[in-house]
């Protein structure tokens, strides 16, 4: 059985390579619009399922793994920033506060489909405007939900839950889900 990661994220690719030695990367082209009436956990799972189903429809002989990571702050889903100003505002809001990172995961093959999520609590350091400006000007936050990467230094004070979930692919959960859809 061949494996496909339905994401172009280099971070997800790196994390998945710790579980699977051989897989193909075929990013889903699905838009990331979501239904505002859903709970954040449902939103992350719905987006992951949409991506997984899109890639699986063209590769029904494979096991497809898709993820979608969202950041939730005070009940609001914070997506990828529209631009540098948006990233600055988002990081300013998160400064010194707690938020959650939720990654929805969908794994599908001919034997089954599993949809689950992982959730990690993040506490941010207090960030100065100068620190935020330098970080944003470096370009790192522009392709990340919540405008940051946990792997980037100086932002996160502490976290409770899975580190790899925050990076974008909860390794323990994905490993379990791959076992569940295996032909036994």
Please say whether the dihedral angle defined by the alpha carbons of residues 51, 88, 139 and 97, taken in this order, is positive or negative.
negative
DSSP code for 88: H
What per-residue confidence (pLDDT) applies to 183? 59
* Whole-number pLDDT of residue 173: 98
Taking the domains of the chain in order of start, what are their residue ranges?
2-180
Q: Is 31 a catalytic residue?
A: no
Q: Which residues of the chain have a pLDDT value below 50?
A: 184
pLDDT at 184: 44
- CATH 3.40.50.2000 assigned to domain 2-180? The reply is no
Question: The whole model's pTM is what?
Answer: 0.93
Catalytic hit among 68, 86, 129, 152: 68
Host H or E run for residue 107:
strand 98-109
pLDDT attached to residue 178:
96
Determine the pLDDT at residue 182. Answer: 84
pLDDT tens per residue across span 98-142: 999 999 999 999 999 999 999 999 999 999 999 999 999 999 898
Closest alpha carbon to 164 in 7, 49, 12, 8: 12
């Amino acid at each position: 059985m061949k494996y496909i990661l339905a994401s172009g994220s280099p971070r997800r690719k790196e994390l998945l390579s710790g579980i699977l030695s051989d897989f193909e990367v075929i990013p889903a082209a699905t838009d990331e619009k979501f239904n505002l009436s859903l709970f954040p956990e449902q939103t992350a799972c719905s987006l992951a399922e949409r991506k997984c189903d899109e890639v699986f429809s063209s590769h029904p002989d494979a096991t497809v793994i898709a993820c979608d990571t969202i950041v939730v702050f005070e009940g609001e889903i914070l997506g990828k920033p529209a631009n540098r100003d948006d990233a600055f505002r988002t990081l300013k809001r998160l400064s010194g506060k707690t938020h959650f990172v939720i990654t929805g995961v969908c794994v599908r093959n001919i034997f089954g489909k599993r949809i689950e999520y992982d959730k990690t609590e993040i506490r941010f350091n207090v960030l100065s405007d100068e620190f935020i400006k330098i970080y944003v000007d470096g370009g790192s936050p522009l392709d990340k939900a919540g405008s940051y990467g946990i792997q980037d230094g100086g932002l996160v004070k502490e976290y409770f839950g899975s580190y790899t979930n925050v990076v974008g692919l909860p390794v323990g959960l994905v490993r379990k889900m791959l076992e569940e859809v295996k032909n036994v």
